[in-house]
Amino acid sequence: MSEHDDRRPPKNAADLAELTRVYGPFEAEVIKSFLESHGIVSVVRGRIDGFIYPFTVDGLAECKIMVQAADLEKARELIASIPAPDDDEGSEKPA
């Protein structure tokens, strides 16, 4: 981060709040990048088992997306604004 960057990592774990849980490091990194593009610093905590073993049973590969408690409400609003993959909003319809 540059010296002019307002986004700062949390000073300790007590400053973090859980935003959501996903299954897999790739989805977690997409969400992390999305949040950071909106000025919210996030941390991904998770288990690497799912990355080593190709299955996600009983919490294997579960990743928690953590944000600063002060940013939690804004982050929830941003996540809620993401269209679901099967959502037709914004898709082109054949003429």
DSSP string, 13-80: GGGEEEEEEEESHHHHHHHHHHHHHTT--EEEEE-SHHHHSS---TTTTEEEEEEEGGGHHHHHHHHH
pLDDT at position 26 over 50: yes
pLDDT at position 48 over 70: no
Name the one residue in this structure whose structure tokens are 């002060």.
70
SS3 8: coil
Which pLDDT band, with edges at 50, 70 and 90, does 85 fall under?
confident
pLDDT at position 53 over 80: no
Domains of the chain, by residue range, sit at 16-81
Mean pLDDT of 39-67: 75
Pairwise CA distance, residues 39 & 4, whole Å: 13
Pairwise CA distance, residues 88 & 26, whole Å: 24
Most confident among 15-19, 24-28, 55-59 (mean pLDDT): 15-19
Q: What's domain 16-81's superfamily in CATH?
A: Hypothetical protein rpa1041 (3.30.70.1530)
Token pair recorded at residue 14: 């007590």
Please give the pLDDT value at position 2.
40
Q: pTM, whole model, 2 decimals? A: 0.68
